[in-house]
Amino acid sequence: RDKAKILEYEDRMYMTKQLILALLYLHLFYQEPIIHGHLISTNIYVEENFEIKIGESKSRLNVENLELS
């Protein structure tokens, strides 16, 4: 079995920034802002070029209808 490649620091930081931007988009700029509600590693997809995609969540919340107590 081949050993997994250890990602360079720059690649890990790029992926982190991609994830942050995706979450900001969902929270602030999506047509109906949402909170994912179940963000775990199996819901984060990494493309070949280290682009990040966030998978569907059954427990997502609409930010506009969210009440904080």
pLDDT in tens, 6-36: 889 999 999 999 988 888 887 887 777 777 6
Please, what is the Cα angle at 28 between 59 and 44, to 5 degrees? 50
- For position 68, what pLDDT does the model report? 43
Percent of all residues in the chain with a pLDDT value above 90, rounded to a whole number: 14
- Is the pTM above the cut of 0.75? no
Give the CA-trace dihedral at 22, 28, 33, 37, to 10 degrees: 50
- For position 13, what pLDDT does the model report? 95
